Structure 1
Amino acid sequence: MQFLHPEFFYALPALLIPVFIHLFQLRRFKIQAFTNVALLQKIRFQTRKSSQLKKWLILLIRLLAIACIIIAFSQPYLSNQTAEKNSSETVVYLDNSFSMQAIGPKGSLLNRAVQDVMTGFDETEKIGVFTNDQSYKSTSIKELKTDLLSLEYSQDQLDLNTLILKGKALFSDSKTSSKTLVLVSDFQQHDDAISPKIDSTIHIVLVPLKPINTNNSYIDKVSLEPALNANYTLNVSGKSSSETNAPIPVTLYQDQKVVGKSILEKSKNYKTTFVLPNTVEFNGKLSIEDTQMPYDDTFYFNIPKAEKIAVLAIHENSNSTFLKKLYADDEFIFQSQNYKTLDFSQLKTQNLIVLNGLNQISIALQNSLKAFMDAGGVVVMIPSKDGDLQSYNQLLATQTNHRLEPLTTQEKRITNIAFNHPVLKDVFEEQVTNFQYPSVQYYYPISSSANSVLSFEDQQAFLIQFKALFVFTAPVETEASNFVNSPLIVPTLYNIGRSSLKTPPLYYWIGAENTFDLKVNLQKDRILKLANKDAQFIPLQTNFNTKVSITTTNDPSEPGHFSILKDTDTLTHVSYNYTRTESQLRYSDLSKIQGVLIENSLEATLKNIKIEANVTWLWKWFVIFALILLAFEMLILKYFK
């Protein structure tokens, strides 16, 4: 017989308490006067010998009952050497997300957990192990040792329901074996409430690991804005959960060269700026020093070489001067052609086509514009007062089922701005209410107001988007509207132009769906690649006439600068970073979860699982013995005379 908690035997001296009570309990008899002793004749006298026997018997029963209770608390068990090896199964989840880099009492949380797993099982014992990105079914520590020691951190995070489903899949189909799922994690707090679906056939044990402290500093985001003298101002924003006011040094690199240093101060909300020269391209890296989690101490960004956007304005009788001013030469290649002398071969080389006041859109132009939009181009249609409604609606039919209705002469103000629409998003710092709204004298009503960019005061659309087609419902020439003199025209048409070619931003988040366009003519069956010195992959890409649209999600798997290669030629660079979702070190409250066991020590948890799988527990029998003895004591006190 062995004992799980032998320290309870320190309570055995408590057996002396009933002994002392028995030895020192003295009964003193009192003399009671009776008027007639004949009244006592029916009393049965107990002999001194029988009285002492009863006392000794009660003492023995009490001693045995107390001893049984103490032994029960020590949890005795017998080793079951003949038990089948597969009578119990254990699957262990090791959270290898970045927050497990945090420092615990014995090193990083993940490294400590790996060591506990390697020492908690016999080398040949079959177990299941899985992480956020790897799974091992029915294998041994001896086979897993190399993989566990080289386990890398992952950006992936799994919710509790997913962990239970993945763990369940690693058990066998046996209905007789005892199955235990051990989930080892720091259980980061997320927006979704924890409400797992517990499987009653599996014993689930949660082992939350916590760092020594939750202090962590990291670079959160960067942004770029033009500055004086044709320079750039790089805005750097950091965050810190440290309770101290110590500044955080930050270093700026261009490739591998240090080009600037600054500090992030709590008094300035951990923000700072760098002034960068307006060079052709800037591959930048920001770095801080923090001992808690190194994954979020580096931030990569890239200022790409600017690609000019090709804009073609097709006009008939309207003036396109305002478009030429909007689409300036520093960012756009602007052309204006008369509809009657239009060179159709020029359409496929454009990014944005503006139909400025055409009275009629021919079938040939409609077909060319449809092919242009199908190839990724963007079209803006500005109607004419004398426009052919049928041809307008035929163009709309290529993108939507909605139609323009006949011209209505009525003055209307453009009062509703869709601040969250992609065209106007981030244009206004706040939603404006005291704006000098432009107006129109007549318009073409449309049967839909969904996805409107700008609307009249009665919610009728003034500018509305249908996929790749932007439609103005009213002419914008000066005699019909003052829209061209309104401040709204600049961000509206400028951002529509910018959206026709999605140039890469400063950086992307790994794991998110990222889409950008490259202005390049790519021959059929040719592809673009993303590569750096450590990795190379082929992203999802769609080849259009004048550009290639690239989408990345799970690749790349590590942060850094990546070259976009056409064969061996580098077209530009893009930068990727890990998301900062785990940097705040906030943890979930597991006490509200029903149907699971919560343990604070993985080492003790694995020890208990190992014991339970190979032993026969005896503590229940000792509890039963103690209850039986107490019952005997009550019977003796009541019936033994």
Structure 2
Amino acid sequence: MQFRHPELLYALILLVIPFIVHLFKLRKFQKEAFTNVKLLKKVVQENRKSNQLKKWLILIARTLALAFLILAFAQPFIPSGKTAKQSTSTLLYLDNSFSMQLRGEHGPMLQHNIQQLLENSQQNDQFGLFTNNKDFGIISPSEDQSELQDIDYSSNSMNFNLINLKARQFFNEHPAEVQRLVLISDFQQNLGDLNKLENIAYHFVKNEAQNISNISVDSAYAIDKNLNQLSLRANFSTTEKLDRDIPISLKNGEQILAKKSINFKENKQQEVEFRLQAEEIENGIISIEDNGLVYDNELFFTYAETPKINVLSVSGSDADFLNRIFTKDQFSYINFDENEVDFSAFSSADLIILNEVEHINTALQNQVLEKAKEGTPVCIIPASNLQLQNYNSFLSNLGLPIIKNKQNKELLITEISFEHPLFEDTFEKEISNFQYPEVQSFYNFNKDASAALAYQNNNAFLMNSGNSYLFSAPISQENSNFQNSPLIVPVFYNLGISALKTPSLYFEVGQENIFDVNIAGNGDQVVEIQQNSADSFIPLQQNTSDKITVTTTELPENAGNYMITYQEKRILPISYNYPRNESDLNYLDINEFENIEKQTDLNTFFESTKAAQQIDVLWKWFIIFALIFLTIEMLLLKFFK
């Protein structure tokens, strides 16, 4: 037994008062001579014994009544568990990722968890709560419960490390003797490994889906396009093999463009090709019929005519190889002789190439540097007989290494940096043996730079600093056979298509996505991205003389087809989809985790913690006993003769 106010037990000293009173009443009386009557003496002796018994009984009753009254004010109790008297702090993580759309025993798992949260937030002490996309802070019974009711599915997901980071921050702000972290999830394998924090009790509430069969539209991409036809390929996957035909439809808004079916009898992954008319698809949707997860049943995409990329070159030698690479179907290519440059063409250039120009005059330098500041890529191929001081001043302004000297020595170009951004998605696999191109002479530089291609001695052949690229040797036929190498096409073609970042078929929600809108910015006017007239946002953007570079990160939050507008004009359709990592329904076995409390549902957790905190209060019983002994005292005084 324990006491809520043990300091009041000092009042038990007052129990000496009844004893003092009792002893005072037992003091000896003076003897007086009296007639020696035998009968009277006997009556007096019996009466004296009776009075003594009565006084002792009254003393006991009075003492016990006072003792029980003092103990009642000290509020005695018996704790039900070890943590009953300790301060507690509870934090709940509610997994609201898309995998929680599956149905459990009581319906959709997330909705069932929300209902239990609403019930227990009214009946239990306050607790902290966070989800994959929102931190609710402390939830108390007096708060409006509408925030809990509005919890929706999120494309975000957390792993154990992020959950622990949130928990550490919360318990630092709300310290307590007992700290509980409750994870409410289906515990997919993408949670990773659990590294438990010290002094925190972990509770796992695992949601079990009744049926984990799911079919997903994973991705789509264009594989071929000509004047009249577009070939679109879509990838599908399932969690288990299915011997039945699954209907697929491809629509542009409400217009059905194609219908097909797939069967997963032999393979859990399938690929379907659609052949469409090569015309703009503003609201493309590829959809399937599936009773599993809902979010991955549709894939949104847009297809629009890609604007031609403006490539401008200034040449001091033959530029025919550039003309063959930058074909008219994708590029608008123009070349100027170094002595006959039309500087007005620079304003619309998306890529500038200086092809073996011997002397870069001031006017040309100013035009190139101005475009470079706007983010326009610049590629420099040095001339065999260049003016060193003139070149070095220009290279320094671009942030590139400067030339030290020229070396007349044959070198092979043997190294490809496959991870370089210039070669992203270019090679299906790394290759080590190929027909190495060579150079007869090359330049040495004062420092290293990021190399996309390198010689056999590991010095850079093609280097870059930001959007500025530099060859370390002339590539004319007189000095190198690089123009005849298979490498020349991916180098310059990739430079060309990276110059204007046109929107893909779709982007992923929650990722950093960068693309260019091929319009000239005008003052304070900005582009907007909108799904309808009531739902729009202004993305991060950078204006240049001929295009606007748009970056989206946290917005939009929802998958769908959107439209880029400028000055209230519809400019370009664009699409976003949720990442598909929640579609892979593989789960952790939480029985493998040690020192973890496992609960079947939230109600069970709250009931167990409430029972551990519960105490058996005894003060009422002590009041009752005090009243009983006071009553006994009164009865003794009145009726005991």
TM-score (norm 2): 0.77
Relative to structure 1, the CA distance from residue 509 to residue 174 in structure 2 (aligned partners, 3 Å threshold; closer, same or farther) is: closer
Q: How far is 1:84 from its partner?
A: 11
Instruction: State how far apart, in whole Å, the 2-side matches of 1:84 and 1:434 are.
Output: 72
State which of 239, 251, 260 in structure 2 corresponds to 1:262: 260
* Residue 119 (structure 2) aligns with: 119
Give, in angstroms, the shift of residue 126 of structure 1.
3.5
1:327-360 Cα offsets, whole Å, 9 max, x none, are 1222112111222232333323211111111111
Aligned length: 538
Equivalent residues of 1:219, 1:237 under 8 A apart: yes
Q: Which residue of 2 aligns with 1:132?
A: 132
- CA offset at residue 451 of structure 1? 2.5
What is the letter of the counterpart of residue 194 of structure 1?
L
**Aligned residue for 1:566?**
566
Deviations 1:150-181 (A, max 9, x none): 32111122233433453565679676675533
Counterpart for residue 50 of structure 1: none
Contact 2:160 2:191 survives alignment (8 Å): no
Aligned with 2:370: secondary structure?
helix
Match of 2:57 in 1: none
Deviates more, 1:302-311 or 1:425-434: 425-434
**One-letter amino acid of the counterpart of residue 450, structure 2:** N
Structure 1 partner of 2:251: 253
Counterpart residue number, 2:527? 528
User: Quick one: structure 1 residues 467 and 505, their matched pair in 2 at CA, closer, same or farther if it must change by over 3 Å?
Assistant: same
Q: CA deviation at 1:518?
A: 1.4
Contact 2:252 2:281 survives alignment (8 Å): no
Does 1:216 pair with 2:214?
yes
Equivalent residues in 2 for 1:95-494 (5 A)? 95-123=95-123, 125-140=125-140, 143-167=143-167, 178-190=178-190, 192-198=192-198, 200=199, 202-227=200-225, 230-266=228-264, 267=266, 269-316=269-316, 318-400=317-399, 402-447=401-446, 450-494=449-493
Q: CA deviation at 1:373?
A: 0.8
Conserved 8 A contact 1:188-1:586:
yes
Kept in 2: contact 1:304–1:504 (CA 8 A): no
**Shift of residue 576 of structure 1?**
0.3
**Range with greater deviation from structure 2 (372-381 or 167-176):** 167-176
In the alignment, the residues of structure 2 paired with residue 275 and residue 561 of structure 1 have an alpha-carbon distance, to the nearest angstrom, of 21
Other structure's SS at 1:340 match: coil
Contact map agreement 2:407 2:443 (CA 8 A) in 1: yes
Q: 1:617 to 1:253 in 2, by over 3 A?
A: farther
Q: Is the 8 A contact 2:401 2:449 kept in 1?
A: no
Is 1:600 aligned to 2:600, yes or no? yes
For residues 212 and 456 of structure 1, the distance between their equivalents in structure 2, rounded to whole angstroms, comes to 60
In structure 2, the residue matched to 1:60 is none
- Looking at structure 1, the residues matched to 593 and 449 of structure 2 have their Cα atoms a distance apart, in angstroms, of 43
Please state whether the residue corresponding to 1:235 is helix, strand or coil: strand
1:185–1:464 CA distance, 2 compared to 1 (3 A): same
Contact 1:504–1:516 (Cα < 8 Å) also in 2: yes
SS at the partner of 2:558? coil
| Residues 1:579 and 2:583 aligned together | no
One-letter amino acid of the counterpart of residue 429, structure 1: E
The verdict on how the C-alpha distance between 1:130 and 1:324 changes in structure 2, with shifts beyond 3 A counting, is: same
Distance 1:475 1:517, change over 3 A: same
How far did 1:260 drift? 0.7
Q: Which residue identity is paired with 2:155?
A: Q
Report if the CA contact (8 A) 2:414-2:454 is conserved. yes
Distance 1:169 1:431 in 2: 44
Distance 1:448 1:182 in 2: 55
Question: Which residues of structure 2 form unaligned runs of 5+?
Answer: 1-76, 619-641
* Matched letter for residue 601 of structure 1: D
Structure (1 or 2) with the larger CA radius of gyration:
2
1:437-493 superposed Cα distances (whole Å, 9 cap, x missing partner): 322222213355543222222222222222111111221222222222222222211
| Bigger Cα displacement from structure 2, 388-397 vs 552-561 | 388-397
Between 576-585 and 228-237, report the one with greater CA deviation: 228-237
Deviation per residue, 1:240-270 (Å, 9 max, x gap)? 1124343432211112211111223334631
SS at match of 1:475: coil
1:508–1:577 CA contact under 8 A, matched in 2: yes
Q: Tell me, in whole angstroms, the C-alpha distance in 1 between the residues paired with 2:129 and 2:566.
A: 42
Contact 1:510 1:554 in 2 (8 A): yes
Q: Determine the C-alpha separation between the residues in 2 that align with 1:315 and 1:387.
A: 13
2:494 corresponding residue in structure 1? 495
What is the deviation of 1:389?
2.2
Matches within 5 A, 1:59-70: none
How far 1:377 moved relative to its partner?
A: 0.6
| Residue number in structure 2 paired with 1:518 | 517
Alpha-carbon distance between aligned partners in 1 of 2:119 and 2:105, rounded to the nearest angstrom = 18
The structural deviation recorded for 1:400 is: 3.1
Partners of 1:87 and 1:452 lie apart in 2 by 60
- C-alpha deviation, 1:542, in angstroms: 1.0
Deviation at residue 292 of structure 1 after TM alignment = 1.7
Question: Do 2:89 and 2:174's aligned partners in 1 also have CA atoms closer than 8 Å?
Answer: no
Q: Which residue does the alignment assign to 1:12?
A: none
The structural deviation recorded for 1:299 is 0.5
Give me the TM-score of the superposition, normalised by structure 1: 0.77
1:94 to 1:525, Cα distance in 2 relative to 1, 3 A: same
Distance 2:258 2:453 in 1: 44
Amino acid at match of 1:220: D
By how many angstroms is 1:78 displaced? 7.0
1:117 alignment partner AA:
L
Which range moves more in the overlay, 235-244 or 157-166? 157-166
Counterpart residue number, 2:505: 506
Conserved? CA contact 1:399–1:468, under 8 Å: no
Report if the CA contact (8 A) 1:407-1:445 is conserved.
yes
Q: Is the Cα–Cα contact under 8 Å of residues 84 and 613 in structure 2 kept in the other structure?
A: no
Partner of 2:476: helix, strand, or coil?
coil
8 Å contact from structure 1 (residues 206, 599) kept in 2: yes
Deviations for 1:492-543, whole angstroms, at most 9, x for unmatched residues? 1111011111111111110111111112111122111100126211101111
Greater shift in the superposed pair: 531-540 or 574-583: 531-540
Show CA shifts across 1:398-429 (max 9, x none): 23362223222222222222223222232233
Q: 1:576 to 1:264 in 2, by over 3 A?
A: same
**AA at the equivalent of 1:94:** L
**Partners of 1:235 and 1:273 within 8 A in 2:** yes
Q: Which moved more, 1:288-297 or 1:122-131?
A: 122-131
SS for the counterpart of 2:397 is coil
CA contact (8 A) 1:124 1:142 kept: no
Which deviates more, 353-362 or 395-404? 395-404
Whole-angstrom distance in 2 between the partners of 1:572 and 1:537: 15
What's the CA shift string for 1:278-315, capped at 9, x where partnerless?
11445311111221210111101111331111111112
Alignment-mate amino acid for residue 584 of structure 1? D
Partner letter of residue 147 of structure 1? Answer: E
**More displaced stretch, 89-98 vs 515-524:** 89-98
Distance 1:173 1:354, change over 3 A: closer
For the residues of structure 2 that align with 1:482 and 1:148, how far apart are their CA atoms?
A: 68
Q: State whether structure 2 residue 605 is matched by structure 1 residue 611.
A: no
Q: Would you say the 8 A contact 1:517–1:548 is kept in 2?
A: yes
Provide closer, same or farther for how the CA distance between residues 228 and 352 of structure 1 changes in structure 2, counting only shifts above 3 A.
closer
CA distance in 2, matches of 1:509, 1:576: 5
Q: 1:589 to 1:144 in 2, by over 3 A?
A: farther
Provide the rounded CA distance (Å) in 2 between the counterparts of 1:229 and 1:478: 35
Distance 2:227 2:401 in 1: 48
RMSD value, Cα: 2.9
